[in-house]
Amino acid sequence: MAKEITIHPDNTARQKFTALKQFMLDTLAGGPISVLVRRPSRSREQEKLYHKLIAVISDQVTFETKHPDSDPGRIVYFFGRNRRRKYKPEIWKALLVDQFEQERALAGEPLRKPGQIVPAMDGSGRMVTVRPSTTGFSVAEGSDFIEFIYAYGVELGVQWPATAEEIAAAEREWIASNRGEAA
């Protein structure tokens, strides 16, 4: 059985230490235990929020390879063949995390656990990019990533949902798209 307790330096710390001590003593009756003390990583609430935000971007932004003469609206242009394409949230997440990592590095504030470029295992000389995992974000990095997503979304012309219901609908759509279901 695993138990995680976050202790803040406030007036509840003593109470939480007491509860933790009792939990450890109760658990020791079943055999040895292991205790890990670390700073908290990004919160589950942060993770839920950035997945909702990424789903909104995925829904509203289209990539196009040819720049039209008209007002672009919410279209991102890139070089290549002439086509339009919408990306799923997991692609957007990879793109956003990569861009976030690059901007942090340029600002002199690299991520604690940056991505890596490693050689492929087949010996072909190909290189594989392993993006940083949002699971490894600190709480501060998670907050910065959320701010980055909002700001980048604005640059792309995203109209952010104004209500909790709209955000919840975006989350349901993201979950359904990752399961291959209709929302």
Same domain assignment for residues 163 and 111 = yes
Q: Which residues contact 91 (CB under 8 A, 6 or more apart)?
A: 58
* Tens digit of each residue's pLDDT (9 = 90 or more) over 12-39: 888 888 888 888 898 889 898 888 887 7
Q: Give the DSSP H or E segment for 75.
A: strand 75-77
161 and 113 assigned to the same domain: yes
Mean pLDDT, range 149-159, rounded to an integer: 92
| Same domain membership, residue 99 and residue 23 | no
pLDDT value of residue 35? 83
Domain total of the chain? 2
Looking at the fold, whether 30 and 48 belong to one and the same domain comes out as no
| Confidence at residue 167, expressed as pLDDT on a 0 to 100 scale | 72
Domain range spanning residue 32?
Answer: 1-37
Pair (31, 101) in one structural domain: no
> Is residue 183 scored above 50 in pLDDT?
no
Q: What is the mean pLDDT of the chain?
A: 82
My answer on whether 100 and 148 are in the same domain is: yes
E strand or H helix that includes residue 25: helix 13-28
Query: Considering the domain boundaries, does residue 70 fall inside one?
Result: no
- Domain contains 101: yes
Asked if 152 and 96 count as a contact pair (C-beta separation under 8 A), the reply is yes
Considering the domain architecture, whether residues 52 and 133 belong to the same structural domain is answered as yes
Per-residue confidence band for 76, with pLDDT thresholds at 50, 70 and 90 = low
- pLDDT exceeds 80 at position 70: no
Cα–Cα distance, 143 to 174 (Å, whole number): 21
pLDDT in tens, 127-152: 998 999 998 888 889 999 999 999 99
Per-residue pLDDT at 136 = 85
Highest mean pLDDT of the ranges 81-85, 92-96, 135-139, 163-167 = 92-96
Is the CB of residue 57 less than 8 Å from the CB of residue 156?
yes
Q: Is there a single domain that holds both residue 28 and residue 97? A: no
127 in Cβ contact with 120 (< 8 Å): yes
